[in-house]
Structure 1
Amino acid sequence: MIEKSNLKTADGSPFDPARYEVVLRPLSDEEGGGWLATIPALPGCTGDGETEMEAIEDVRLAALEWAHAATVDGDPIPAPPRTSPMAAE
């Protein structure tokens, strides 16, 4: 598992997936049902789950992988927007 404490955003603050806005949408039966979660500030970062909470947990884990991959590639991790609301817990 990737340690978030080792990851820093572009502004130097510690990376914490919980600080990023999560957008949820229900998946249709054709898409497999459940929920899709995305983090708009981290392009391509998605997760899914049978429930809204499972999708949020999944996208936060995906955010750690996303941030680690960005760091390995030498890309900055965007800082969360200052006006970003906390995701539903």
Structure 2
Amino acid sequence: MRNLDAYPFEVRPLTPDEGGGFLISYPDFSGCISDGETVAEAIANGREALEGMIEALEFFERPVPLPSSGGVASGKFVARVPKTTHAHLTTRAKSEGVSLNALVLAFISEGLGRRDGSKAGTGHQTPF
């Protein structure tokens, strides 16, 4: 079983002309994309698309790319937050039925998406 979390992905907001929501793509797999109304939904749908892509490659006995690191970041960081913030985030994650990490990632991605959306036309994308 492959570690799907090891594959880097990019999330970007879709314009209203593109249907709105968010698009996720995997640089290690040409054409492996998905979308969702929210960042969390796009990530969940993207994971399913990635899993399907890998299963198809294996079925047809095609090579499955190893996860690239992009040579930039490990994808992990630790942040200390006030206990009250941690409690609020934990409660919110539980009420939405997601992990604390997924919730925080969604908030970060949405914030970066909004910021990047204000730079429309600059060609800037948010890498994850």
TM-score range, shorter chain: 0.7 to 0.9
Greater strand share, 1 or 2? 1
Give 1:86 shift: 3.3
> Which of 50, 56, 62 does residue 43 from structure 2 map onto?
56
Match of residue 25 from structure 1: 12
State the AA in 2 paired with 1:86: G
Match of residue 44 from structure 1: 31
1:69 is paired with a residue whose SS is helix
The aligned length equals 76
After superposition, the Cα gap between the structure-2 partners of 1:85 and 1:33, relative to the gap in structure 1 and judged at 3 Å, is: farther
Matches of 2:14 and 2:30, distance apart in 1 = 19
Larger Rg: 2
Contact 1:39–1:45 (CA<8 Å) still a contact in 2?
A: yes
After superposition, the Cα gap between the structure-2 partners of 1:24 and 1:41, relative to the gap in structure 1 and judged at 3 Å, is: same
TM-score normalised per structure 2: 0.54
Fraction of identical pairs, as percent: 33
Structure showing greater relative contact order (alpha-carbon pairs closer than 8 Å, 6 or more residues apart): 1
Q: 1:9-64: per-residue Cα shift (whole Å, max 9, x none)?
A: xxxxxx12211111011111111100000011011111100111111111111001
Unaligned runs of 5+ in 2: 77-104, 107-128
1:53 is paired with a residue whose SS is helix
